[in-house]
Structures are given as C-alpha cells and as structure tokens.
Amino acid sequence: MRDYNFIGETRRQQGVLAQELAEVYPDAVSHGGDDPKTNPWSVDYGRLTPLTILAIQELRQAHELQGRELEALRREVASLRSR
C-alpha cells in the first residue's frame, strides 16, 4: 500500500503501484507505454477483490484455529493447576 498522487495532480491517494503489483500478480495490471502522461500503467482493483476476500477468509480460519488451540491449552493448564 502506498500513498501517491497522479502526475499533474496534487490530491493524495492510497493504493498499489502497478509496476510493483505486476511483479507478483500481473493479471491485475495493464502495462502502459513509454509516456506515463498519455499511456500510464493501471491496476484493475476488481481483479484483486477475490484474492483479498480469500486472504481474509484464510486469516479468519487461522485465527479461529489458534483461538481453539489457546482455549484447549488454558483448560489443560487449569487442569494441571488443580491437581
């Protein structure tokens, strides 16, 4: 994630740089030409949405699994302390 402003504009925006994204997920990038003012690189954020949702789902599953493992460890510690 980067803060940037388009060439010729002063308004700051947040996003990814197309040139950097092209290295890891080129399907979401339209390559520009030699002159970025007339033919800039661009990012198709719609292509990133399914990947973002999948990543959130995977993180949630990992978080839930860790929570269950932590709860099991707490029960085990409580059981050992009561002995």
Whether residues 31 and 67 share a domain: the answer is no
Whether residues 61 and 38 share a domain: the answer is no
Domain range for 27: 1-43
What pLDDT does residue 74 have?
95
Whether residues 31 and 63 share a domain: the answer is no
The mean per-residue pLDDT over the stretch 8-15 comes to: 89
The mean per-residue pLDDT over the stretch 9-29 comes to: 93
Total number of domains constituting the chain? 2
What pLDDT does residue 48 have?
95
Task: Output the CA angle 78-79-83, nearest 5 degrees.
Answer: 115
Residue 29 Rama label (left phi>0; alpha psi -120 to 50; beta)? beta
Whether residues 32 and 59 share a domain: the answer is no
Whether residues 34 and 50 share a domain: the answer is no
pLDDT for 7 beyond 80: no
